[in-house]
Copies of this chain bind each other. A is one copy, B any other.
Amino acid sequence: MNNLLIAQSGGPSVAINATVGGAVEYGLISGKIDRIFGAVHGIKGVLEDHLIPLHSVLSSPEKMTLLCHTPAAALGSCRYKLNDYRQDETDYETIIQVFRRHNIRYFIYIGGNDSMDTVLKLSDYCREKGINDIFVMGAPKTIDNDLAQTDHCPGFGSAAKYIATTFSELERDRAVYDDKNVTIVEVMGRDAGWLTAAAALSRGNGSHGPDLLYLCEQPLEPSDFVKQVKQKLSETTSVMVAVSEGIKNSAGHYLSEECQSGAADNFGHQYIAGAGRVLEGLVRDEIGCKVRAIELNLMQRCSSRIASATDLYESRMLGMKALSRALEGGSGEMACIRRIVNLPYEVSYDTADIRDIANHVKNVPASWILPDGKGVTREMIDYLYPLIQGEVPLSFEHGIPAHLKLF
């Protein structure tokens, strides 16, 4: 028996289930896979031998479509880091035992940086121990878009489409009054500003777009921020600001830490405010106009009703690619996307050595960011634009989108 095991790890996204779908489809058609399992809660589910028979659970086209349209991670996730096997082999031995018990020869792990660390360690372990009939492949997934070697990451395009759409809708909302106001929207991204940059795509429907755009790759001094907002307020009525949650000042401290350490209320409760909330306080205190901070929060990674069709398609293709390469004997690699042309958009699917991916972070190139919150360059827009194209026709149940639950 040659069986396939798939697991998901790291933060949820709208597209990660489509990658499971792609791998399952390819497995069913390849003629080389007997059974397909999913591990519940990532590598933890493997360690606990908690597997689901996907070949029978996903038996109908309806369920397969529903899986691809369901947000988050249908197999569950984890944040479990394997030890260095040179110091402790316990987990590795358990994993191989579970694999042998279920005749698993192909393992696809879908996730971000930390998940690729698992792919690296497990494939290294197999090589080192001479286990040459088990193939470990990674498939990328992170709304942060910060994985190296791939042009972009599944989940990012849908989150970018959510952000661009939401900025356009908020702009309409903010434009109804004629008194001066500032809206600060905090976007996910601790280390990379790709998602924040996507706010600029809100111009696609003729919206004005964010007036100020602060990516976490560039430091922001509170005093400069106040100056730049004042300038914009002198030019326009409603000022829209996009800011990365991970924005830092020039001393390298997160704004969200620096400005609020020790903030506690009458009852002694601590409040941990995000970057947007800190900037809101600055506008209120230093400028004094109407101001509102908005956190897009988890909605930006689970709003499947505004998923990008391009994103979901590519996510499926990457699941197929990961398995296709494993069936050829690949291990210790990650499926990735190579961009050929921006417009008309064209890509190819490839794999890359996991050593060049695990524990690396891909930032927004400095040359794509304009200074003083002025936004991003044409190159950045050309890069982002194709990733949010196309809509996904969801099915609804009693007025809300239908979801598939696997456990």
Report A's interface with B, CB cutoff 8 A: 8, 12, 41, 44, 70-73, 76-79, 161, 164-166, 168-170, 172-173, 175-178, 201-202, 204-207, 259-271, 273, 277-278, 281-282, 284-285, 292, 294-299, 301-306, 308, 385, 388-391, 396-403, 405
Ranked 9 nearest A-B pairs via Cβ: A204-B398, A263-B265, A72-B172, A388-B399, A269-B281, A77-B176, A260-B265, A169-B302, A173-B302
Inter-chain contact B78/A178, CB cutoff 8 Å? yes
Find chain B residues with CB under 8 A from A396 CB: 391
A48–chain B nearest beta-carbon distance, Å: 10
CA distance A254 to B285 in the complex (A): 23
Using A205-B401, A205-B403, A385-B398 as known contacts, say yes or no to A177 and B265 having CB atoms under 8 A apart.
no
**Pairwise interchain contact B400-A161, C-beta atoms closer than 8 A:** yes
- In the bound complex, CA of A260 to CA of B294 (Å): 20
Cβ–Cβ contact A260 & B270, under 8 A: no
Chain B residues, Cβ within 8 Å of A77: 176-177
Instruction: List, in ascending order, chain B residues with CB within 8 A of A294's CB.
Output: 295, 297-299
Name which residue of chain B comes closest to A166, CB basis. Answer: B299
For this complex, 17 residue pairs linking A to B, each with C-beta atoms less than 8 Å apart, are A12-B172, A70-B172, A165-B305, A173-B298, A201-B400, A202-B400, A204-B398, A205-B400, A259-B265, A261-B265, A262-B266, A263-B265, A263-B266, A305-B305, A308-B399, A385-B398, A389-B398
A259-B266 contact in complex given A164-B399, A165-B305, A305-B165, C-beta closer than 8 Å: yes
A213 to B296, CA, bound (A): 22
Residues of B within 8 A of A401 (CB): 165, 168-169, 205
Residue pair B302, A299 in contact (C-beta under 8 Å): no
Whether A397 pairs with B169 at a CB distance below 8 angstroms is no
Q: A72-B175, A169-B304 are in contact. Are A264 and B263 (CB under 8 A)?
A: yes
